[in-house]
Amino acid sequence: MSAESGLRDRLEGGLNAPICLTWELTYACNLACTHCLSSSGRRDPNELTTTEAKALIDELAAMRVFYVNVGGGEPMIRRDFFDIVEHAVERRVGVKFSTNGTRLDAAAARRLAAMDYLDVQVSIDGDDAATSDAVRGAGSYAAARRAMDHLAAAGFADFKVSVVVTRESVEQLDALESLARGYGAQLRLARLRPSGRGVAVWDALRPSAAQNRRLHAWLVERPHVLTGDSFFHLSALGTPLEGLNLCGAGRVVCLIDPVGDVYACPFVIHDRFRAGNVRGGGFGPVWRESALFSELRAPHAPGACASCDSYDPCRGGCLAAKFFTGLEASDPDPECVLGHGERKLATTRVELRPTPSIDHSRAPARVGSGPLR
Amino acid sequence: MASVASTRPATGESFDLARPWRLSPEVSLRDETFGALAYHHGNRRLVFVKSTGLVEVLVRLGQYATADDALDELVAPAERARYARALATLAAGGLLGVG
């Protein structure tokens, strides 16, 4: 469904707690995907301890946060991964976790299959190794397919195949849907954002305007394909897509990073959008009282989009996509389907785009070239 | 009054007010300014309960022998049909069970 305007105003004004939040468990990752939102690679020595992680879950449970999207980095690299996840589902904080699959062997698959309130998303970025590995690194596609095989063999019903839509993968959507269906799994698509290391590849990898129009039509015909509200900027093409169709940053969602910093959403890991830290007073005060979240929840003028007939369905698009391409929050989305963003982008300078204020990428010589460990 | 934010098809079963409907034990309910958010941990459905009156009915439904009895006591006659439709929507989404 699409939220009607009264409810949408309430949602844009913020909730007592997030509907869900993303929790990156670690910055450590054995892959080095070129579009990594969190510029992951090396573990941060200051990451939350097991005890701190469990205390955070207890607080989320008390606030009735319904579920957390667990990611990283590669969350399964943490030695206490199962300890944390099991603690969450025991307290009825559902877990949806994203993995590159490299650590998901047969035993792990059986353990995951035995848990309630748990969803698994295995990431590939194309229907074949050549397409996917170009983004995610050599051997990553085969490793992800092995993980999917393990999940299917363990009887894990309904896992998700998670794909970032690039100008390459967008041409493989039918094949990717078949791949997911072959496992009894669901396809989940996410928008490529110019966040983290993605800022460096966004211009080269993002779908063209024509591809975005085809993507919208394809999604309208397939309401069963999950998108996590990722493509609401495409709703300006006419038929609204499934989901709330609004920017949830600091309003209905947020991100907690591995060191406990709270950001407005998973796509804006940058000092400008850091609301606070869960260490000390906990998550609740940050969610309820931070100056940043109050700012994001205040009524926003449509800005440059005021005269556009399509403002209502798209609400000006994605805050993160604007920020990291050097646009203002009041500007159109850089991928505005009516072309307003492209015109605005042409007036900005690529070299002046904000760069990530934190970066855990491994040494450049190893990025994208190291063997899987 | 209750809208289901989910793409999963509803079950076709008709809604019988004479049965002892209860909020499913798998549902978490959280108060919000517009009413409440309800989330079914099993089928992952998220529901916007857009009326504080309906929230009260949901919380107290289990105390009555039937949904009819609950509506008789908690809802003004003029509102009854609207509440019954909202309960039917929630039941179709699996958020209510008979128990």
Return the residue in B6, B30, B95 with the most chain A beta carbons within 10 A, the one to mutate for interface testing: B30
Reported as a pLDDT band with limits 50, 70 and 90, residue A301 is confident
B14 or B70: which carries more pLDDT confidence?
B70
Residue B7 has pLDDT above 50, yes or no: no
- Average pLDDT estimate for A184-198: 96
Residue B9 has pLDDT above 90, yes or no: no
Residue A250 has pLDDT above 70, yes or no: yes
Q: Is the Cβ–Cβ distance between A318 and A193 less than 8 Å? A: yes
pLDDT at A64: 95
Give me the residues of A, 52-81, that contact B with CB < 8 A.
Answer: 64, 66-67
Long-range contacts, stretch A54-57, CB < 8 angstroms, 24+ apart: A54/A83, A54/A84, A54/A87, A56/A23, A56/A256, A56/A260, A56/A278, A56/A282, A56/A283, A57/A84, A57/A87, A57/A88, A57/A91, A57/A93
pLDDT at A364: 66
Helix (H) or strand (E) holding A118: strand A118-123
Reported as a pLDDT band with limits 50, 70 and 90, residue A372 is low
What residues contact A7, with CB distance under 8 A and at least 6 apart?
Answer: B3, B34, B48, B50
- Average pLDDT estimate for A143-153: 98
* Minimum CA–CA partner of B25 in chain A: A92
Average pLDDT score over chain A: 93
Q: Tell me how close the Cα of B6 comes to any Cα of chain A, in angstroms.
A: 7
- Average pLDDT estimate for A62-77: 97
Question: What pLDDT, in 10s, does the model give residues B29-42?
Answer: 999 999 999 999 99
* Minimum CA–CA partner of A243 in chain B: B5
The predicted complex's ipTM stands at 0.86
- Average pLDDT estimate for A95-100: 98
CATH number, domain B21-93? 3.90.930
Neighbours of A207 (CB within 10 A): 20
Q: Which chain B residues have a beta carbon less than 8 Å from that of A117?
A: 41-42
Q: Order the strands of the A94-99 sheet from edge to edge.
A: A186-191, A160-165, A118-123, A94-99, A67-71, A20-24, A255-256, A261-263, A274-277
A50 token code pair? 């097991």
Flag whether residue A10 sits within 8 Å of chain B, measured between CB atoms: yes
Amino acid at A101: G
Q: Which chain A residues have a beta carbon less than 8 Å from that of B5?
A: 1, 3, 243-244
* Minimum CA–CA partner of A63 in chain B: B30
Q: Percent of chain A beyond pLDDT 70?
A: 96
Q: Which chain B residues have a beta carbon less than 8 Å from that of A242?
A: 7
- Average pLDDT estimate for A81-100: 97
DSSP state of A158: T
pLDDT at A243: 82
Give me the residues of A, 240-259, that contact B with CB < 8 A.
Answer: 242-244
Long-range contacts, stretch A358-366, CB < 8 angstroms, 24+ apart: A358/A39, A358/A269, A359/A39, A360/A27, A360/A28, A360/A38, A360/A39, A360/A40, A360/A41, A360/A42, A360/A43, A360/A44, A360/A73, A361/A32, A361/A36, A361/A39, A361/A40, A361/A41, A361/A42, A361/A197, A362/A32, A362/A41, A362/A42, A366/A32
Q: Percent of chain B beyond pLDDT 90?
A: 83
Residue B90 has pLDDT above 70, yes or no: yes
* Minimum CA–CA partner of A92 in chain B: B41
Q: Is the Cβ–Cβ distance between A200 and A222 less than 8 Å? A: no
* Minimum CA–CA partner of B44 in chain A: A117
Long-range contacts, stretch A222-231, CB < 8 angstroms, 24+ apart: A222/A177, A223/B7, A224/A186, A224/B7, A225/A177, A225/A186, A225/A187, A225/A188, A225/A189, A226/A160, A226/A186, A226/A187, A226/A188, A226/A189, A227/A188, A227/A189, A227/A190, A228/A188, A228/A190, A230/A189, A230/A190, A230/A191, A231/A189, A231/A191
Residue A373 has pLDDT above 60, yes or no: no
Residue A365 has pLDDT above 70, yes or no: no
Reported as a pLDDT band with limits 50, 70 and 90, residue A294 is very high
Residue A370 has pLDDT above 50, yes or no: no
Reported as a pLDDT band with limits 50, 70 and 90, residue A353 is confident
pLDDT at B11: 47
Q: Percent of chain A beyond pLDDT 90?
A: 80
Size of interface A-B (CB pairs under 8 A): 49
Q: Is the Cβ–Cβ distance between B4 and B40 less than 8 Å? A: no
- Average pLDDT estimate for A53-69: 97
Reported as a pLDDT band with limits 50, 70 and 90, residue A3 is low
Q: Tell me how close the Cα of A128 comes to any Cα of chain B, in angstroms.
A: 29
Q: Is the Cβ–Cβ distance between B20 and B96 less than 8 Å? A: no
- Domain borders along chain B are 21-93
A64/B7 CB distance under 8 A: no
pLDDT at B2: 65
B41/A64 CB distance under 8 A: no
Flag whether residue A224 sits within 8 Å of chain B, measured between CB atoms: yes
pLDDT at A289: 96
Lowest average pLDDT, out of A165-174, A182-191, A297-306, B73-82, goes to A297-306
Residue A1 has pLDDT above 50, yes or no: no
The percent of chain A in helix, strand and coil, each rounded to the nearest 5, is 40, 15, 50
Residue B72 has pLDDT above 60, yes or no: yes
- Average pLDDT estimate for B10-21: 77
- Nearest by CB to B46, which of A10, A19, A117? A19
Q: Residue A69: what are its φ and ψ, rounded to 5°?
A: -90, 105
Count of all residues that appear for chain A in the document: 373
Q: Tell me how close the Cα of B59 comes to any Cα of chain A, in angstroms.
A: 16
Question: What pLDDT, in 10s, does the model give residues A255-272?
Answer: 999 999 999 999 999 999
- Nearest by CB to B28, which of A3, A10, A66? A66
pLDDT at A258: 98
pLDDT at A164: 98
Return the residue in B3, B6, B7 with the most chain A beta carbons within 10 A, the one to mutate for interface testing: B7
- Average pLDDT estimate for B40-45: 93
